[in-house]
Amino acid sequence: MSADPEPVIFRGVCALCTLSLFLILTLDKVMSDSVLAMDELRTQRGDVDFHRARRMFCIRNGELRVAPEGTTMSHLEWFEAEGWIGKDSLERFMNSTVRGIFLPARSALFFYKGVGFYFDTVVIHEASRWAAELMSTLALDRHVEVHVGPPDAVIRGIQYRQKRLGTIESVTKERLTA
């Protein structure tokens, strides 16, 4: 007696459908997580006073760009307002653009990139490279501290890495003697 091929084919089709459904749901979750992460970079109700008190900047196309003083926008919202990013380039731009803030209350500069406010050797290099120009542009003292990573180690319950590089004076001096 020969076995009926229909159950085997049916099981194969069911397995393929299950795999397809799994892939669709996984992709949907990844896309949702990405959108959620970007939404978290938008100004939240509790961010307005903090945003107004700090000075935002970024390095774009080899130039220092400084946001208007007193803005309540986040970096993401500033980049959108300038027309530098669209929905299709948003995550790529955020992950490749070194940005940061000057926080007068702490007399400190903070440099980072990405959705996760991370730093790597590129961010450390750019912090040293642009510290003196930021001092000039924002009329800062040479004793302003320079950090990589976000100003707070914990933001909305997530732990972030931070590192102090020195002062504008020391990182500039190190850069000139290196």
**Residues 134, 115, 42, 92: is their CA dihedral positive or negative?**
positive
Q: Which two tokens stand for residue 80?
A: 């959108």
Range name among 50-54, 69-73, 144-148, 173-177 with the lowest pLDDT average: 173-177
Q: Is 171 exposed, middle or buried (0-12, 13-18, 19+ CB in 10 A)?
A: buried
**Residue 30 confidence class, pLDDT cut points 50, 70, 90:** very low
Beta-bridge mates of residue 58:
65, 99
Asked whether the predicted pLDDT for residue 89 surpasses 60, the reply is: yes
The model's pTM is 0.75
Asked whether the predicted pLDDT for residue 174 surpasses 90, the reply is: no
Residue type present at position 176: L
C-alpha span between 138 and 4 (Å, rounded):
79
**Residue 159 confidence class, pLDDT cut points 50, 70, 90:** confident
- Looking only at the bridges linking them, the beta strands covering 108-112 and 145-148 are parallel
Choose among 114, 172, 112: nearest CA to 144: 172
Q: Where are the beta strands (DSSP E) in the chain?
A: 55-60, 63-66, 99-103, 108-112, 145-148, 154-155, 158-159, 163-167
Cβ pair 123, 161 in contact under 8 A: no
